[in-house]
Amino acid sequence: MKEVATNYVPQNWYLLLSTFLFCVGIMGVLFRRNAIIIMMCIELMLNSVNLLLVAFSAYSGNSDGQVFVFFIMVVAAAEVAVGLALLVSIYRNVASTDINVLNKLKW
Amino acid sequence: MSQYLFFTLSILTIISALYVVFSRNPMHSVLSLIFCFFTIAGHYVLLNAQFLAIVHIIVYAGAIMVLFLFTVMLLNLNKETEPHKTNWIKIAAVIAAGMLFLVLIASLKSTELGPFHLPYRSTIGFVQNIGIKLFTDYLLPFEVSSILFMSAMIGAVMLAKKEK
């Protein structure tokens, strides 16, 4: 029993890891100009939150958090499908996915 | 043992996540994001959430990232066409994200975590238990999410269709 108790992963480490991943995602959104990479960084942020939800759900012995993660994945998949379709149709019009080109709502 | 696994997986996750941001080639970003998602699935296995680990691999690596990969190929993005921000904005982005990280860590230091169960002893992440939860307590959201998927699919097809 003692051997098991000294060998578990502390809850804090998951907090640290997912905080770091979230900040990497935010940095990517601020850092890049390609709209596709920005969407990928948003996925990274969603995943860091998912990881934290699963960690808390596993450590508290309650499976509600894992069901929420399932729904977050569903919404993320829908978001990516629509977002990439939008990007493809934008690319057809302006031949670029650079967000500095996409600063007009109408022209 | 689980601590070593956690460290290895975390280092791989962090390196691949940083490579997503700093890589100059969009294709390399996509591939390293796929790798990052696999390591996160490894974390789920470590937390004994088998159902979510499998769903994560199927949905993210199997569906979402393939969509990204095909879009990058379809738009023919590569190192030469990749736009870059000026160095000042890049430095500002790194500093801003670092400050956010510091603030979050500072606020986490004062948190008090409650009593916990050892995750590798619990069976709550197994397919059976999640399935029971999903089809009793969360039946309505489950059905609504199917409508959301349907509308997203139709919307994506309509948006990506060539205009006459």
CB contact under 8 A, A59 and B82: no
State pLDDT tens for residues B92-137: 999 999 999 999 999 988 887 777 777 666 778 788 888 898 899 9
Average pLDDT over residues A40-66: 90
- CATH number of the structural domain spanning residue B5: 1.20.120.1200
Task: Tell me if A100 is assigned to some domain.
Answer: no
The total domain count for chain B is: 2
Percent of chain B having pLDDT more than 70?
98
**Structural domain of B159:** 126-164
**Looking at the domain assignment, is residue A101 inside a domain?**
no
Longest Cα separation, chain B: 62
Query: Which residues share a beta bridge with A34?
Result: A98
Is it the case that residue A20 has pLDDT exceeding 80?
Answer: yes
Residue A74's pLDDT is 92
Least confident span in A31-40, A45-54, A92-101, B13-22: A92-101
Percent of chain B predicted with pLDDT > 90: 46
A19 touching chain B per CB within 8 A: yes
Give the residue-averaged pLDDT of B141-161. 91
Task: Tell me whether residue A89 is in a domain.
Answer: yes
Decide if B33 is inside a domain: yes
Give the A:B interface size as CB pairs under 8 Å. Answer: 227
**Mean pLDDT for chain A?**
86
The alpha-carbon gap from A107 to the nearest alpha carbon of chain B, in Å, equals: 18
Q: Tokens in use for A50?
A: 């998912």
Contact A44, A25 (CB under 8 A): yes
Residue A15 pLDDT exceeds 80: yes
* pLDDT value for A3: 46
Q: Are B70 and B133 contained in the same domain? A: no
Indicate whether A5 pLDDT > 70: no
Q: Does A94 touch chain B (CB under 8 A)?
A: no
Q: What is the pLDDT at residue B120?
A: 64
Position B50 in a domain:
yes
Contact A54 B134 (CB under 8 A): no
Q: What pLDDT sits at residue A6?
A: 52
In chain A, residues with a C-beta closer than 8 Å to the C-beta of B97 are 23-24, 26-27, 30
Beta partners for residue A98, in sequence order: A34
φ, ψ for residue A34, nearest 5 deg:
-80, 125
- Please answer yes or no on whether A9 and B100 come within 8 Å at the CB atom: no
In a domain, A99, yes or no: no
**Contact (CB<8Å) B52/A70:** yes
Using a CB–CB cutoff of 8 Å, tell me whether A49 touches chain B.
no
pLDDT at B81 over 70: yes
**Ranges of H-type helices in B62-138:** 65-74, 87-109, 127-136
Q: Please, which residues have CB within 8 angstroms of residue A17's CB and are 6 or more apart in sequence?
A: A48, A51, B10, B13, B14
Contact B100 A89 (CB under 8 A): no
Please indicate, yes or no, whether residues B68 and B6 belong to a single structural domain of this protein.
yes
Average pLDDT over every residue of A13-29: 92
- A interface mutation test: which of B18, B20, B144 has the most A CBs within 10 A? B20
Phi then psi for residue A12, to 5 deg, are -60, -35
Q: Quote the CA–CA distance of A1 and B61 in Å, as a whole number.
A: 37
**A58 vs B33: CB contact, 8 Å cut-off?**
no
pLDDT, chain B, mean: 88
User: Given this model, what pLDDT does residue B43 score?
Assistant: 92
Q: Same domain, yes or no, for B20 and B69?
A: yes
Nearest-CB residue to B21 (from A13, A20, A41)? A41
The 8 Å CB, 24+ separation contacts for B8-14 are: B9/B39, B9/B42, B9/B43, B9/B46, B10/A13, B10/A17, B10/B43, B12/B39, B13/A17, B13/A21, B13/B39, B13/B40, B13/B43, B14/A17, B14/A20, B14/A21, B14/A24
Hey, are the CB atoms on A84 and B49 less than 8 Å from each other? no
